[in-house]
Structure 1
Amino acid sequence: MLDPEIHSMNSLFRQLGLPDSDEDVEGFIIRHRPIPRDLELHEASFWKKSQADFLKQALDDDAEWAEMVDELDARLRY
């Protein structure tokens, strides 16, 4: 069984190389939302190329991170 920590928003931010405390995650989301509905998450201008590639691949491959990437996408559009 996979460690449930793998699927947390904090661990997604850690995987992306971003500060990952609860406050950091919430601050990032507040600073960067809303992103336009017609823009794919990985196309947002605030990602580094490696971060954008990771997000796109996670969704394309329906990888273990896909659920958290979907959640981040939804939170950035609210």
Structure 2
Amino acid sequence: MNQVRPRMTHLFEQLGLDSTAAAIAEFISEHQLHQDLALLDAPYWTKAQHQFLAEKIASDGEWAIVVDQLNEALHEDATSESQVQ
């Protein structure tokens, strides 16, 4: 079985979002989350996107790693701010 490991581009495709490198960077830049706001609680996910992300996190498989990378990227500004304080 020849399975492709999930990547950020695959995650964005599954979420129905533009998966080009520029679009991913723009999404991450424009959708930064407060340090206390969990990825799944972000107000911009549709019900289907929320469900997909929750399933992948719960699976604790390769997709969970990519979702965690997205979570870290979306909290990047919050991490930077907390290190300054």
1:16 to partner: Cα distance: 0.5
1:2 maps to amino acid: Q
Structure 2 residue runs without a partner (length 5+)? 77-85
Structure 1 residue runs without a partner (length 5+)? none
TM-score w.r.t. structure 1 length?
A: 0.87
Q: Which residue of 2 aligns with 1:23?
A: 22
3-state SS of 1:46 partner: coil
Q: Which residue of 2 aligns with 1:68?
A: 66
RMSD: 1.2
2:42 maps to amino acid: A
Aligned-residue identity in percent:
36
Which structure has the larger Rg? 2
2:3 maps to amino acid: L
TM-score w.r.t. structure 2 length?
A: 0.81
1:51 maps to amino acid: Q
Cα deviation, 1:24-71, whole Å, max 9, x if unaligned, reads 1001000001x1222220110011111011111111121331010000
Looking at structure 2, the residues matched to 28 and 45 of structure 1 have their Cα atoms a distance apart, in angstroms, of 14
